[in-house]
């Protein structure tokens, strides 16, 4: 099947080369990080996790959201999703690969990575995150590839794939739950110390992931002349709507508990993010932009006539994706570190090398995604869908 990835239009090759160029630049910066150390980033003693870990957290959500296609198709026999389920699974594959790359980019001693396997430590949530992420990657590659191969040969997928598909459903939930557990089990970090963090992560994932998939469906329709289908896109739009509303609801629950209880350890972080603290507030405009984008998008999505207009839907999906990216990719991690445990406000801003490395990891993900989608579209066109 992979052969169709080697046959493409001029635009396809230019896109791949452009991605490779971006990866090359980022890799150059990464070599600099390897020799100098993580000091080339904006991270500090006080904000010890930054952009890399935030992107990792966000992308775990995008990866987990594939389950929003798998559940309707395989559990509810919603046949129409047959056209796109594999797109969701391959989005999960490229997202998990980006997650793993971000973890490696964040390590101070990446060559010691395998110490996690040599000295397995079940008390560490990072150990379990490694287990569930790699397992999820494996599941989605095997499932996606075999189902697609069967489709190409016009035969039903092999029987042994079925149990893997069922396992992949709770497994998808587990990757974002364990990722939330990295943060919400830490005693001194009031911002994260909330039982609703995992549900909130999942809600935002089930909004941002399918929203991104809708955008991808429009792109694939435009460039590769493969239509995911109007009904399919509309069903995904409803999933996005529910996810986005649940996300805002969970967020408001957090705000209520913090503000009404008025416990300083919990309110200080929200105050920093949304109003600034002790004269520091680089994230304030970003956080309000995120709130505005989420609310505006929800308003558009709940109105049927607006949602059914694909231009409006596209805009709403971009707004959801960007809004949640700001929330998780900018505010969630550094917000938990500011103020620090001694209640000093030391801010964090990513540096140019850090951003370049981040963009390169995204480019790697898009490279893998492009190749996988090329294969999918090749098969779909071959069987005349």
Partner 1 sequence: MDDTRRSFLKFAGISALGLGGISTLTSLMPGPATATKGASAPLYKDTNKALTAKRWGMVIDTRKLTPSLCEKMIDACHKAHNVPNHDNERHTIKWLWEDDFEHVFPMKHDEYLADRLDNLPILALCNQCNNPPCVQVCPTKATFQREDGIVMMDFHRCIGCRFCMAACPYGSRSFNFRDPRPAIEKENPDFPTRMKGVVEKCNFCAERLAEGKMPACVEVSEGALVFGDLEDPSSEIRKVLRENYAIRRKQNLGTNPSVYYII
Question: For residues 6, 10, 15 and 17, what is the CA-based torsion angle, rounded to 10 degrees?
Answer: 70
Residue with smaller CB distance to partner 1, 211 or 270: 270
Work out whether 13 is an interface residue with partner 1 (CB under 8 A). Answer: no
Residues 164-183 that bind partner 1 (CB under 8 A): 182-183
Least spacing, CB of residue 333 vs partner 1, in Å:
9
Least spacing, CB of residue 204 vs partner 1, in Å:
20
- DSSP letter string, 278-336: TTB-TTHHHHHHHHHHHHHHHHHHHSHHHHHSHHHHHHHHHHHHHHHHHIIIIIHHHHH
Residue with smaller CB distance to partner 1, 26 or 339: 339
Residues 137-166: x where in contact with partner 1 by CB under 8 A, - otherwise, as a string: ------------------------------
- Asked if residue 62 lies in contact with residue 209, where contact means CB atoms within 8 angstroms, the answer is yes
Region binding partner 1 by CB under 8 A among candidate stretches 9-17, 106-114, 230-238, 322-330: 106-114
**Tokens (6 digits) for 223:** 């460039």
Cβ burial, residue 257 (10 Å; 0-12/13-18/19+) = middle
Secondary structure class of 277 (helix, strand, coil): strand
Q: Which of 7, 10, 45, 225 binds partner 1 (CB under 8 A)?
A: 45
Least spacing, CB of residue 200 vs partner 1, in Å:
18
Residues 241-270 that bind partner 1 (CB under 8 A): 264-265
Q: Tokens 């594999």 correspond to what residue?
A: 86
Least spacing, CB of residue 34 vs partner 1, in Å:
9
b/e sequence 315-336, b meaning 16+ C-beta within 10 Å: ebbbbbbbbbbbbbbbbbbbbb
For residues 212 and 320, what is the distance between their CA atoms, to the nearest angstrom?
A: 9
Work out whether 122 is an interface residue with partner 1 (CB under 8 A). Answer: yes
Work out whether 37 is an interface residue with partner 1 (CB under 8 A). Answer: yes
Residue with smaller CB distance to partner 1, 124 or 308: 124
Q: Which of 25, 161, 173, 186 binds partner 1 (CB under 8 A)?
A: 186
How many residues touch partner 1 (CB under 8 A)?
A: 48
Residues 340-369 that bind partner 1 (CB under 8 A): 340-344
Region binding partner 1 by CB under 8 A among candidate stretches 68-76, 84-92, 99-107, 305-313: 99-107
Work out whether 36 is an interface residue with partner 1 (CB under 8 A). Answer: yes
CB-based contacts of 346, cutoff 8 Å, min separation 6 = 44, 46, 47, 338, 340
- Asked if residue 233 lies in contact with residue 207, where contact means CB atoms within 8 angstroms, the answer is no
**Tokens (6 digits) for 270:** 């929200």
CB-based contacts of 76, cutoff 8 Å, min separation 6 = none
- Phi first, then psi: give them for residue 143, nearest 5 degrees: -65, -55
Residue with smaller CB distance to partner 1, 71 or 355: 355
Report the interface residues with partner 1, using CB under 8 A: 36-39, 41-46, 48-49, 103, 106-110, 112-113, 115-116, 118-127, 130, 182-183, 186-189, 264-265, 336-337, 340-344
């Amino acid at each position: 099947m992979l052969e169709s990835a080697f046959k493409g239009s001029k635009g396809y090759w230019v896109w791949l080369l452009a991605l490779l160029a971006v990866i090359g630049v980022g890799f150059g910066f990464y070599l600099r990080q390897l020799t100098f150390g993580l000091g080339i980033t904006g991270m500090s003693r006080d904000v010890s996790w930054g952009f890399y870990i935030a992107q990792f957290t966000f992308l775990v959500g995008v990866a987990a959201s594939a389950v929003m296609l798998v559940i309707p198709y395989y559990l509810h026999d919603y046949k129409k999703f047959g056209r796109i389920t594999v797109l969701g699974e391959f989005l999960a594959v490229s997202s998990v690969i980006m997650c793993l790359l971000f973890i490696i980019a964040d390590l101070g001693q990446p060559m010691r990575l395998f110490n996690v396997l040599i000295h397995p430590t079940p008390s560490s949530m990072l150990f379990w995150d490694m287990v569930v992420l790699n397992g999820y990657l494996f599941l989605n590659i095997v499932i996606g590839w075999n189902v697609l191969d069967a489709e190409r040969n016009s035969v039903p997928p092999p029987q042994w794939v079925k149990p893997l598909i069922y396992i992949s459903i709770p497994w998808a939930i587990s990757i974002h739950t364990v990722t939330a557990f990295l943060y919400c089990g830490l005693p001194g970090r009031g911002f994260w110390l909330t039982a609703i963090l995992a549900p909130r992560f999942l809600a935002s994932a089930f909004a941002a992931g399918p929203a991104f998939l809708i955008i991808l469906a429009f792109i694939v329709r435009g460039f590769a002349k493969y239509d995911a289908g109007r009904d399919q896109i509309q069903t995904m739009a409803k999933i996005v709507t529910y996810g986005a509303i649940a996300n805002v609801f969970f967020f408001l629950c957090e705000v209520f508990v913090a503000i009404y209880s008025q416990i300083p350890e919990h309110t200080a972080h929200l105050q920093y993010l949304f109003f600034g603290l002790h004269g520091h507030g680089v994230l304030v405009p970003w956080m309000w932009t995120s709130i505005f984008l989420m609310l505006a998008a929800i308003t558009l999505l709940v109105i049927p006539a607006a949602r059914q207009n694909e231009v409006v839907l596209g805009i709403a999906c971009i707004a959801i994706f960007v809004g949640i990216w700001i929330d998780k990719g900018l505010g969630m991690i550094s917000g938990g570190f500011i103020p620090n445990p001694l209640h000093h406000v030391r801010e964090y801003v990513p540096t140019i090398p850090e951003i370049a490395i981040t963009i390169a990891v995204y480019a790697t993900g898009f490279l893998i995604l492009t190749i996988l989608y090329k294969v999918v579209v090749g098969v779909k066109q071959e069987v005349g869908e």
